[in-house]
Amino acid sequence: MKTITKFLINLISVGSIVLIATLNISQFAVVGQPKITTPDRPPNPIPGGPRFIQPTEDREAPPPTQPGRPVRGGCASISQLGLTALVPKNKMGRTVSDYPTFFFYLPQTEAQSAEFILKDESGKQIYKQDLTISNLSGVIGVSIPANQNVPPLEVGKSYRWNFTVICDSLDRSADQIESGTVRRVELSADIRRQLAQADPRQQTFIYAENGIWQDALSTLAAARRDQPNDTTFKADWESLLDSVKLGEIAKEPIVQTQPQP
């Protein structure tokens, strides 16, 4: 009888140990579940926002030569943020538009006017726009008008642009200038299909991930103008500019300029 009792006690003890082990394993599977990480990717300071990926051939290209500019004097801004083109660091951007829009940060300045000039690969001027910038400060957009007097950008060709704040119309040596290059490219049928089915926010992601800077920026800028109080578009704007090291400009307002006749 003692032997049977001892056997039952041992059996119950073994069962308890198995049950405890099973519970511990189950609990560990929930609490200790590892997080999925992607260590090869740089951390995104603004989760979920669009991040621009510049094509390798553009990234390796040298930036255009910038004209000399005075640091102080004339109409130079006293703020830490000076005249800045909203483009990647090497001043190169791609577009799929035949008439793209370019963006610049304009600091507070005493200047009354500015000019935008676009030239083809041979150096021929194909478009010029004079702007009134009195009492303006913020991000401005300059659009190439789609009309018969301005030829559309051609696929596969690069164009040089200059944006100039004219400090003194009688002494252009004091001009504040930003220069860069834009290249018209063609998208694959698959990407065009994705864009046709996407809303403006999704289009911004598609353009950015495929290296199309000008259209990613202009699409998002248009969405922000249409819905200025939308916090998602605001966060996307900050993320996109941060991806090209322009995060300090992201909080500046988008303002309208007045083209001169």
pLDDT in tens, 70-88: 444 457 665 678 999 999 9
Q: At what angle do helices 200-209 and 231-242 cross, to 10 degrees?
A: 10
Residue 250 has pLDDT above 70, yes or no: yes
Residue 40 has pLDDT above 50, yes or no: no
The mean pLDDT of 36-65, rounded to a whole number, is 66
Contact 114, 166 (CB under 8 A): yes
Q: For residue range 94-131, what is the model confidence (pLDDT) as tens digits?
A: 999 999 999 999 998 889 999 999 999 999 999 999 99
pTM of the model: 0.78
Q: In Å, how far from its chain's centre is CA 184?
A: 18
The mean pLDDT of 4-14, rounded to a whole number, is 43
Range of lowest pLDDT (59-73, 99-113, 233-247): 59-73
Residue 37 has pLDDT above 70, yes or no: no
Distances (CA, A) of 244 to 33, 54, 215: 35, 9, 15
**Mean pLDDT estimate for the chain:** 81
Other CB atoms within 10 A of residue 70 CB:
13
Q: What pLDDT, on a 0 to 100 scale, did the predictor assign at position 76?
A: 61
The residues that bridge with 179 in the sheet, in sequence order, are 162
Residue 63 has pLDDT above 80, yes or no: no
Q: What pLDDT, on a 0 to 100 scale, did the predictor assign at position 138?
A: 94
Return d(Cα 235, Cα 83) in angstroms, integer: 23
Q: Which two tokens stand for residue 141?
A: 């957009």
The mean pLDDT of 11-29, rounded to a whole number, is 38
Residue 170 has pLDDT above 50, yes or no: yes
Q: What pLDDT, on a 0 to 100 scale, did the predictor assign at position 1?
A: 45
Share of the chain above pLDDT 90, in %: 62
Residue 236 has pLDDT above 80, yes or no: yes
